[in-house]
């Protein structure tokens, strides 16, 4: 079925391209046959329309960021924010919810200038619930300015669409399709502007059914007399996710210079997952001597609610302005897991049956108040300054039960109640001066962090309660040089300091069991990591861009692996030093009037140095990885357009693990029916090649993983717009701190 679907999709795409090329050639021939001045006029008009259509400012370069226009990504239509991010140059979202920019891990995701405050699978689920049809643009900030919170190695800011025309306007985009299972992603955007009031809302509902498969092999060899053995694991998971999120708000223009707005957001994600796990233990003769089979039933309900108030006042003349932001955000996932296991020893004799039941209840509340003031001093220097206070509290209660022979009993040795409170006070100043050929910007951010963690209900575990208190300065600086007045050549240099604070779940020592031999746990001994970033770039005609960047992190936070008894444990850990040197090139090529190709590639050298788990061995290892992303945009006549996106990532080093090369292709074809509606057929990972293979070396063991995700899908989307034409109005709010740290 998949082969038929892929073939049909490729045929539709190629025939659409073929037919429209010939249609365009016929039209051009007819024009050229016309004599007189009309030939010149018509030919010129045709060229002008086509060229402008192809070069739709897919990528724009600014002093402190790169902007990607999402409407150009046809193949992402019908998809989600994940597809948009993975279609952006230099951006990758991995299977664990990790986000990287230009090969640099630890990028923070913002929505409309506010951090999402989620990470891992919670971040993935949230981004999957946000349809591409609601996204206007993506801002990529590899070295954010001082006005942004200092968290994360980089910031990726997703700007959603907002209508701002007078009267009643709307945009609906139903989308349906399937990969292995059916899925749908439907959105609606409504806006009503009258007089001094603007009422807006957008909402979407998504159904996502998908699978996950994995084959894993662990071979253990010990230095003592313990015989080595091999563990073969087979994992099969099927999940069902029903997502709904919304935004609704009011903008009120008090007078010519003053306005205020209120925004309310909500997100609900019921998630169901069933898993089947098979663990086969082989003796040194490669014969099975025991078997453990497990069935997992996992259910979670996640809710996320936020409210924002913004007050804006521009003083007479517009040179000075003040913004005040008040924010509240809550996040509350509640999950249950039942893990039933059977032990066979020898291979076909049932020896034992046991069940582990887990109930996890998590709540986070985050409060923020922020004020910004900007002015122009000494005639031409733009001056920005601001203050912010933030308080957050996170609580999780994990209760474990065991069941054998139909009798259920609490397991107090596993129970965990962990509470973490944190307060961050920040102030910043930012100065910008533009000269004839040189633009300068410098900023300094001061952050004071106070936190404390308490662990309750301890029985056999050590006390992991702790307190922290630290003050840090985060400077940033930018220089832009334009040697010619037209700005054809632009050189930019930036440097700054960032911090990565541990996520709440990284600090929480509670455990999550995939099966009795595979466990994820937190690490309350984690400390913050500090990164210095520097980047030099050159841009030609706001199109070709080349950059060289350097990043050095002390105390880099990564996933580490170790074997304890017969359990394979994944745990976050600090590494002494981590450095990246990245060379990036992004350049568009106009192949024909109807075909533009954009190529983005990076060479990234990653080096890890230090010890983990107080190991006596000091490790110094590095590898250079090649990234390549191409984006072809096709513009034809009669409202037809198409695109192709390819992504390649070479062999990648991740501390103890090595990822094998992977690649994939996305494609889309779109027909503009009229000024109000379009129909799009899109395909992601068309040939289902995004299969991850991971090798890792840990003390006494070699581990191999093969991971298959449900990444191949085909969607049909109908987009209808009514009312006045779309015009986007940006909105800024005040929670710009500790992004992705809600858990």
C-beta separation of 537 from 90 below 8 A: no
Q: How far apart are the first and last CA of the chain?
A: 40
Lowest mean pLDDT among 411-425, 578-592, 667-681: 411-425
- Is residue 160 classed as helix, strand or coil in its secondary structure? strand
Does the structure show a pLDDT above 90 at 16? Answer: no
What is the residue-averaged pLDDT of the chain? 84
Determine the average pLDDT of the residues in 394-423. Answer: 87
Determine the average pLDDT of the residues in 442-449. Answer: 96
Domain CATH for 138 = 2.40.170.20
d(CA 660, CA 657): 10
For residue 128, the surrounding DSSP H or E stretch is helix 120-128
DSSP 8-state class, residue 206: E
Burial bucket for residue 316 (CB in 10 Å: 0-12, 13-18, 19+):
exposed
Strand stretches in 97-181, DSSP E: 99-101, 104-105, 107-111, 114-115, 135-141, 154-160, 167-173, 175-178
In a domain, 50, yes or no: no
Of residues 210, 209, 188, the one with CA closest to residue 200: 188
In what side-by-side order are the strands of the sheet with 154-160?
Answer: 59-61, 66-69, 135-141, 154-160, 107-111, 114-115
- Looking at residue 546, what is its pLDDT? 95
**In this predicted model, which residue has the larger pLDDT, 50 or 510?**
510
Q: Count CB-CB contacts under 10 A for residue 139.
A: 19
- If you average pLDDT over each of 147-156, 397-406, 556-565, 573-582, which comes out highest? 573-582
- Looking at residue 679, what is its pLDDT? 94
In this structure, the dihedral spanned by the alpha carbons of residues 78, 83, 88 and 93, taken in order and rounded to 10 degrees, is 170
Q: Which two tokens stand for residue 728?
A: 């986007």
Residue 565 exposure: Cα atoms within 13 Å on the Cβ side: 5
Strand stretches in 316-465, DSSP E: 321-344, 350-377, 381-404, 407-410, 416-434, 438-456
Q: Is the dihedral of CA 615, 620, 626, 629 positive or negative?
A: positive
Lowest mean pLDDT among 147-161, 296-310, 678-692: 147-161
Verify cis geometry, omega within 30 degrees of 0, for the bond prior to 494: no
C-beta separation of 685 from 647 below 8 A: no
- Is residue 16 classed as helix, strand or coil in its secondary structure? helix
Question: Distances in Å between the alpha carbon of 683 and those of 316, 648, 667?
Answer: 52, 17, 5
- Looking at residue 317, what is its pLDDT? 67
d(CA 179, CA 111): 27
Does the structure show a pLDDT above 70 at 648? Answer: yes
- Looking at residue 90, what is its pLDDT? 84
Does the structure show a pLDDT above 80 at 125? Answer: no
**In this predicted model, which residue has the larger pLDDT, 607 or 96?**
607
The C-alpha angle with vertex 203 and arms to 200 and 208, in degrees rounded to 5, equals 165
**In this predicted model, which residue has the larger pLDDT, 553 or 285?**
553
In a domain, 1, yes or no: no
- Looking at residue 700, what is its pLDDT? 80
- Residue 311: strand pairing partners: 260, 324
d(CA 595, CA 662): 26
d(CA 679, CA 173): 10
Identify how many contiguous H helices and E strands the chain contains and give both numbers: 5, 39
What pLDDT band is residue 238 in, cutting at 50, 70 and 90? very high
d(CA 27, CA 42): 10
Lowest mean pLDDT among 88-97, 238-247, 482-491, 603-612: 88-97
In a domain, 20, yes or no: no
Does the structure show a pLDDT above 70 at 52? Answer: no
- Looking at residue 616, what is its pLDDT? 66
**How far from chain centre, in Å, is Cα 435?**
37
**In this predicted model, which residue has the larger pLDDT, 30 or 618?**
618
What pLDDT band is residue 3 in, cutting at 50, 70 and 90? low
Determine the average pLDDT of the residues in 140-168. Answer: 87
C-beta separation of 371 from 323 below 8 A: yes
Question: Distances in Å between the alpha carbon of 75 and those of 639, 645, 678, 716, 718?
Answer: 16, 8, 14, 11, 14
- Looking at residue 43, what is its pLDDT? 32
**How far from chain centre, in Å, is Cα 270?**
20
pTM (two decimals): 0.83
- Looking at residue 225, what is its pLDDT? 57
In this structure, the dihedral spanned by the alpha carbons of residues 66, 539, 643 and 89, taken in order and rounded to 10 degrees, is -40
The C-alpha angle with vertex 335 and arms to 127 and 401, in degrees rounded to 5, equals 155
**How far from chain centre, in Å, is Cα 659?**
19
Read off the pLDDT of residues 73-114 as tens digits, 9 standing for 90 and up.
887 777 788 888 888 888 888 877 788 888 788 888 998 888
For residue 188, the surrounding DSSP H or E stretch is strand 182-194
**How far from chain centre, in Å, is Cα 530?**
21
- Tell me the percentage of the chain whose pLDDT exceeds 90: 53
- Looking at residue 563, what is its pLDDT? 81
- CB-based burial, 105-118: b 16+ in 10 Å, e otherwise: bbbbbbbbbbbbbb
- Looking at residue 660, what is its pLDDT? 96
C-beta separation of 572 from 655 below 8 A: no
Question: Distances in Å between the alpha carbon of 89 and those of 123, 501, 640, 648?
Answer: 20, 26, 24, 12
Q: Is the dihedral of CA 177, 183, 185, 186 positive or negative?
A: positive
- Looking at residue 678, what is its pLDDT? 92
Determine the average pLDDT of the residues in 169-186. Answer: 92
Residue that has been written with the tokens 């093969």 in this structure: 706
Backbone φ, ψ for residue 85 (5° rounding): -65, -45
- Residue 496: strand pairing partners: 476, 533
- Looking at residue 29, what is its pLDDT? 41
Does the structure show a pLDDT above 60 at 42? Answer: no
What pLDDT band is residue 228 in, cutting at 50, 70 and 90? confident
Q: Which two tokens stand for residue 234?
A: 């087979």
Question: Distances in Å between the alpha carbon of 629 and those of 343, 580, 649, 698?
Answer: 47, 20, 9, 33
**In this predicted model, which residue has the larger pLDDT, 503 or 474?**
474
Q: How many domains are there within the chain?
A: 1
Residue that has been written with the tokens 């996502």 in this structure: 208
- Looking at residue 346, what is its pLDDT? 75
Q: Which domain holds residue 697?
A: 55-722
Q: Count CB-CB contacts under 10 A for residue 56.
A: 13
Determine the average pLDDT of the residues in 198-225. Answer: 88
Any residues with CB less than 8 A from the CB of 128 and at least 6 apart, and which?
Answer: 80, 81, 82, 206, 208, 241, 243
- Looking at residue 347, what is its pLDDT? 66
In a domain, 111, yes or no: yes
- Looking at residue 17, what is its pLDDT? 46
Any residues with CB less than 8 A from the CB of 40 and at least 6 apart, and which?
Answer: none
Q: How big, in percent rounded to 5, are the helix, strand and coil portions of the chain?
A: 10, 65, 25
Write the DSSP string, 612-650. STT-S--EEEEEEEEEEEEEEEEE-STTEEEEEEEEEE-
C-beta separation of 62 from 487 below 8 A: no
- Looking at residue 45, what is its pLDDT? 30
Any residues with CB less than 8 A from the CB of 469 and at least 6 apart, and which?
Answer: 449, 450, 451
Residue that has been written with the tokens 């017969």 in this structure: 566
- Is residue 104 classed as helix, strand or coil in its secondary structure? strand
- Looking at residue 458, what is its pLDDT? 57
d(CA 687, CA 668): 14
Determine the average pLDDT of the residues in 253-270. Answer: 93
Q: Which two tokens stand for residue 555?
A: 């105390």
C-beta separation of 116 from 739 below 8 A: yes
């Amino acid at each position: 079925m998949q082969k038929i679907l892929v073939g049909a999709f490729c045929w539709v795409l190629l025939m659409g391209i073929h037919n429209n090329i010939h249609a365009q050639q016929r039209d051009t021939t007819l024009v050229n046959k016309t004599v007189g001045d009309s030939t010149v006029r018509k030919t010129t008009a045709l060229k002008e329309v086509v060229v402008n259509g192809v070069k739709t400012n897919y990528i724009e370069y600014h002093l402190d960021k790169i902007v990607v226009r999402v409407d150009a990504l046809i193949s992402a239509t019908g998809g989600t924010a994940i597809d948009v991010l993975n279609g952006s140059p230099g951006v990758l979202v991995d299977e664990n919810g990790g986000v990287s920019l230009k090969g640099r891990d630890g990028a923070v995701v913002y929505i409309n200038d506010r951090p999402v405050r989620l990470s891992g699978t919670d971040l993935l689920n949230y981004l999957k619930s946000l349809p591409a049809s609601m996204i206007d643009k993506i801002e990529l900030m590899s070295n954010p300015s001082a006005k942004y919170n200092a968290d994360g190695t980089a910031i990726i800011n997703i700007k959603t669409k907002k209508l701002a025309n007078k009267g009643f306007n709307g945009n609906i985009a139903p989308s349906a399709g399937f990969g292995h299972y059916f899925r749908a992603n439907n959105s609606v955007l409504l806006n009503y502007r009258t007089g001094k009031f603007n009422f807006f809302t957008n909402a979407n509902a998504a159904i996502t059914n998908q699978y996950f498969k994995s084959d894993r092999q662990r071979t253990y060899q010990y230095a003592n007399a313990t015989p080595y053995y091999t563990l073969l694991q087979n994992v099969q998971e099927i999940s069902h996710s029903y997502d709904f999120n919304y935004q609704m708000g009011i903008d009120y223009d008090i007078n010519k210079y003053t306005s205020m707005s209120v925004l309310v957001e909500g997100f609900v994600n019921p998630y169901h997952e069933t898993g089947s796990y098979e663990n086969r233990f082989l003796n040194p003769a490669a014969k099975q001597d025991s078997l453990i089979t497990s069935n997992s039933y996992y259910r979670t309900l996640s809710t996320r609610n936020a409210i924002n108030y913004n007050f804006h006042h521009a003083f007479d003349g517009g040179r000075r302005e003040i913004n005040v932001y008040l924010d509240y955000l809550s996040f509350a996932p509640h999950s249950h897991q039942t893990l039933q296991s059977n032990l066979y020893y020898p291979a076909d004799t049932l020896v034992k049956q046991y069940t582990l039941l887990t109930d996890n209840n998590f709540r986070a509340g985050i409060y923020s108040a922020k004020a910004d003031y900007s002015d122009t001093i000494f005639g031409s220097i733009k001056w920005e300054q601001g203050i912010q206070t933030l308080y957050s509290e996170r609580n999780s209660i994990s209760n474990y039960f065991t069941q054998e022979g139909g009798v259920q009993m609490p397991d107090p040795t596993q129970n965990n109640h962990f509470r973490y409170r944190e307060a961050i006070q920040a102030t910043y100043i930012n100065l910008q001066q533009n000269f004839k050929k040189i633009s300068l910007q410098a900023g300094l951010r001061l952050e004071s962090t106070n936190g404390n963690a308490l662990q309750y209900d301890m029985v056999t575990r050590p006390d992991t309660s702790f307190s922290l208190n630290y003050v840090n300065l985060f400077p940033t600086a930018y220089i832009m040089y334009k040697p010619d007045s037209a700005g054809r050549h632009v050189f930019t240099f930036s440097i700054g300091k960032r911090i990565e604070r541990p996520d709440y779940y990284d600090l929480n020592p509670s455990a999550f069991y995939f099966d009795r031999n595979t466990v994820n746990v937190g690490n309350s001994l984690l400390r913050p990591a500090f990164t210095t970033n520097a980047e030099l770039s050159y841009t030609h005609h706001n199109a070709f861009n080349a950059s060289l960047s350097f990043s050095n992190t002390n105390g880099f936070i990564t996933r580490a692996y170790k074997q304890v008894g017969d359990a394979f444990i994944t745990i976050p850990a600090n590494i002494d030093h981590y450095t990246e040197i990245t060379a990036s090139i992004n350049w568009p090529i106009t192949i024909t009037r109807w075909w533009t190709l954009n190529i983005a590639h990076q060479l990234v050298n990653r080096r890890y140095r230090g010890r983990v788990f107080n190991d006596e061995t000091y490790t110094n290892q590095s590898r250079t990885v090649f990234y390549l992303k191409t984006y072809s945009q096709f513009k034809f006549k009669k409202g037809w357009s198409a695109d192709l996106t390819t992504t390649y990532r070479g062999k990648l080093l991740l501390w103890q693990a090595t990822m094998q090369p992977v690649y994939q292709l996305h494609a889309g074809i779109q027909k503009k029916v009229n000024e109000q509606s379009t129909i799009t057929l899109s395909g992601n990972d068309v040939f289902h090649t995004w299969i991850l293979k991971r090798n890792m070396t840990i003390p006494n063991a070699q581990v191999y993983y093969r991971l298959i995700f449900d990444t191949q899908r085909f969607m049909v989307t109908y987009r209808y717009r009514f009312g006045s034409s779309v015009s986007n109005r940006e909105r800024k709010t005040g929670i710009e701190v500790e992004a992705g740290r809600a858990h």
